[in-house]
Amino acid sequence: MLTLYQFPISHYCEKIRWALEYKNIEYKKVNLLPGLHAKKANKLTSNFSLPILVHDKKVINESSEIISYLDQAFPENSLTPDDQNLKQEAMQWEQFADEELGSDVRRVCYNTLLNHPDIITPYFTENGPWYGKLYMKVTFPKLSHTMRKLMKLDDTTVIQINQRLSQAIEKAHTHIKDKEFFVGNSFTRADLAVASLLAPLCKVKNYGIEWPEKFPEPLHSTISEYEDKLDWVHRIYN
Ligand SMILES: N[C@@H](CCC(=O)N[C@@H](CS)C(=O)NCC(=O)O)C(=O)O
């Protein structure tokens, strides 16, 4: 049996949920609470971040490592092309998604959402430990302060983050706008990585959480600015 340790709202965890579903692999989800997750994560690996996948006695973290592991252990519906050139291209797009899209999408979202504990708490506690809501009520101010600090979120960095993200989205959009797939003629880990790491900006269905009808400002306006450049994310998801 496979177990995915995750946060329901995390787009890096979504990348792995989607990979597991695409490959028709049965698995169990264990939702951890932000903050408290570190203890469990560090017990399983030398790292703190989620997703973490446990299969039999093997523990894998880092979403790209997990996808490589899944393709090796469960070769059906492979997400990694056999052709070496296409494989390299797919891995490069995945790396771009992990490093240049994922972390800035998260920063842009949390910069708004951490000001709205009423919106974010249900996502943080969904199907988690029974004491989640109480824990969040007590620790939210400290957690939110720590998260801002770790993500280096302040009025100055937010401007730089938006500029960087806008350029990265332009790069992806320019590449995919007239194509069906990022690499070659079939769906690969490149499509999966880019689309899942942009998914929160597109409020895609099938993500596993119910998005709010409208995000609060400034996130709503930021997302509206990107809308025209991200319609292909919905296409890849469907
Ligand atoms: N490079 C990692 C990034 C994962 C990541 O940033 N996970 C976030 C959730 S979106 C996390 O666990 N943050 C809490 C922490 O690092 O303590 C991957 O691809 O798996």
Helix (H) or strand (E) segment spanning residue 83: none
Residues 98 and 213 grouped into a single domain? yes
> From the CB of 196, is ligand 1 less than 6 Å away?
no
End position of a domain, from candidates 73, 97, 115: 73
The range of the structural domain enclosing residue 45 comes to: 2-73
Residues 6+ positions from 95 with CB-CB distance below 8 Å: 64
Q: What is the pLDDT of residues 18-51, one digit of tens each?
A: 999 999 999 999 999 999 999 999 999 988 999 9
In angstroms, the Cα distances linking 127 to 79, 91, 133, 161 are 29, 33, 11, 31
Given a cut of 90, is residue 200 above it in pLDDT?
yes
- For the beta carbon of residue 45, count every other beta carbon within 10 angstroms: 17
| CATH code, domain carrying 220 | 1.20.1050.10
Q: Report the pLDDT value the prediction gives residue 6, as an integer from 0 to 100.
A: 98
Distance 204 CA to ligand 1 centre (A): 20
Given a cut of 90, is residue 155 above it in pLDDT?
no
Q: Would you state the structure tokens that stand for residue 211, as one six-digit string?
A: 């998005």
Closest-CA residue to 169 (of 135, 211, 201):
201
Ligand 1 atom at minimal distance to the Cα of residue 66: 20
Q: Report the pLDDT value the prediction gives residue 46, as an integer from 0 to 100.
A: 86
> From the CB of 49, is ligand 1 less than 6 Å away?
yes
Residues 6+ positions from 217 with CB-CB distance below 8 Å: 112
Angle at 195 between CA 23 and CA 96, to 5 degrees: 105
Q: What is the pLDDT of residues 96-119, one digit of tens each?
A: 999 999 999 999 999 999 999 999
> From the CB of 98, is ligand 1 less than 6 Å away?
yes
Distance 107 CA to ligand 1 centre (A): 12
Q: Report the pLDDT value the prediction gives residue 26, as an integer from 0 to 100.
A: 98
pTM of the model as a whole = 0.97
- Please tell me the residue having the least CA distance from ligand 1 atom 6: 49
Residues 67 and 90 grouped into a single domain? no
Q: Report the pLDDT value the prediction gives residue 226, as an integer from 0 to 100.
A: 95
Q: Report the pLDDT value the prediction gives residue 70, as an integer from 0 to 100.
A: 98
Angle at 72 between CA 187 and CA 86, to 5 degrees: 40
Residues 140 and 119 grouped into a single domain? yes
Helix 155-176 to helix 189-202 angle (10° resolution) is 130
Identity (one letter) of the amino acid at 199?
A
Residues 118 and 50 grouped into a single domain? no
Residues 122 and 63 grouped into a single domain? no
Cβ(15)–Cβ(106) under 8 Å? Answer: no
Residue 79 in any domain: the answer is: no
Residues 6+ positions from 86 with CB-CB distance below 8 Å: 183, 184, 188
Residues 146 and 117 grouped into a single domain? yes
Given a cut of 90, is residue 238 above it in pLDDT?
no
Cα gap 108→68, rounded to integer Å: 28
